[in-house]
Amino acid sequence: MIEAAANAGPVRGRFITFEGGEGSGKSTQIKILAERLNAAKLHTIVTREPGGSPGAEIIRHLVLSGMGKLLGTDAETLLFAAARDDHVHTVIKPALEQGVWVLCDRFADSTRAYQGRLGNVLPGVLNAMERVTIGDLKPDLTVILDIPVEIGMQRAAARRGGCAPDRFEAEDVAFHRQLRDAYRDIAASDPQRCVVIDANADVATVAAAVWTALRDRVLTANPAKEVTRA
């Protein structure tokens, strides 16, 4: 019986995604969570979208430079889909199959918020792209960091210093308010997967809320699914 369990290979890792508007603190919170999981001997990797794999990083440069916007929303969405396909098949799925926890800064919800809600790309188009790029892959937990738009934009400006804003940071306040509403609607439509956390607090308070959500929804929700420890 023990030998059979050993030959079964590692238990699937967990897939945690972080979403939110500009300046919501995703990168900071992902770093904190990764350090905590690694300290608990849970093998964890951090990745991002668009990007996360060599091919996807090339596309990231094109998108954030504004090239996608020049081509139109549909073409921009195709670029995101191509980047996600490479990312999923070369990084995310192989890691999960090896029992690694994957923490991702943005995933498919970003496409539904940015290109779907704000770019008016039809849901049928987005659904078709998801079937091709991610199939049945679904995050075990999606953390949506919610912050007032004005504060988030101030944080984003401070973060980039004297550098020019990227494709999405350069959008106006109305755009970012609609984006915030889009994320809230996504959370409301899938409450089992999504948790909304108030990001307008100090870093430690937000990190504690993230950990509580992970503990309650992933660690203790499925106690029989023990993860591989490295």
Beta strand 194-198 with 44-48 is unpaired
- Within-domain flag for 224: no
Q: How many folded domains does the chain comprise?
A: 1
Residue 229 counted as domain residue? no
What's the confidence (pLDDT) of residue 221? 64
**Peptide linkage before 50 cis (omega within 30 of 0):** yes
Asked if the structure places residue 211 within a domain, the reply is: yes
Say which range, 71-85, 148-162, 171-185, 200-214, has the weakest mean pLDDT. Answer: 148-162
What tens digit of pLDDT does each residue of 149-187 get? 999 888 888 887 777 777 687 788 899 999 999 999 999
pLDDT at res. 71: 79
Q: Which residue has the higher pLDDT, 7 or 58?
A: 58
Q: Is residue 210 assigned to a domain?
A: yes
pTM: 0.87
Token digits of residue 53: 């794999």
Average pLDDT over every residue of 90-107: 97
Mind listing the pLDDT tens digit for each residue in 12-53?
Answer: 999 999 999 989 999 999 999 999 999 999 999 999 999 999
State percent of the chain over pLDDT 90.
Answer: 70
Which of 229, 212, 225 has its CA nearest to residue 29?
212
The 10s digit of each residue's pLDDT in 131-150 is 999 999 999 999 999 999 99
Residue 228 lies in a domain: no
Can you give the residue range of the structural domain that contains 82? 2-219
The pLDDT tens digits for 181-191 are 999 999 999 99
Q: Which CATH number characterizes residue 82's domain?
A: 3.40.50.300
Inside any domain, residue 97: yes
Residue 180 domain-assigned (yes or no): yes
Mean pLDDT on 64-75 = 80
- Indicate whether 226 belongs to any domain: no
